[in-house]
Amino acid sequence: MRVQIIGRTRDFEGVQKYVEGEKWRNLWRDVGQTVVFVDKVYNHTELAVDLEELAKGEDPPALLARKLLSISRRDEGGMQIIEAARSKLKVLAGDSNWSPLDEARDPVDPLADDVLAATLLQAGTTALYAMLRQGQHDQATPRETA
Q: Is residue 70 domain-shared with residue 109, that is, in the same domain?
A: yes
Q: Is residue 70 domain-shared with residue 27, that is, in the same domain?
A: no
Q: Is residue 146 domain-shared with residue 82, that is, in the same domain?
A: yes
Contact assessment for residue 2 and residue 40, using Cβ atoms and an 8 Å cutoff? yes
pLDDT at residue 92 in the model: 82
pLDDT at residue 80 in the model: 98
pLDDT at residue 11 in the model: 86
pLDDT at residue 144 in the model: 45
Q: Is residue 61 domain-shared with residue 127, that is, in the same domain?
A: yes
* Structural domain that includes position 117: 50-146
Number of domains in the chain: 2
Q: Is residue 30 domain-shared with residue 102, that is, in the same domain?
A: no
Q: Determine the Cα–Cα distance for residues 61 and 55; give it in Å rounded to an integer.
A: 8
Collapse the DSSP code of 103 into the 3-class scheme (helix H, G, I; strand E, B; otherwise coil) and give the result: helix
Q: Is residue 32 domain-shared with residue 15, that is, in the same domain?
A: yes
pLDDT of the chain, 146 residues: tens digit per residue: 999 999 988 888 889 889 989 888 888 899 889 999 999 998 888 888 899 999 999 999 999 999 999 999 999 999 999 999 999 988 887 667 666 666 666 677 888 999 999 999 989 998 998 898 887 444 444 544 44
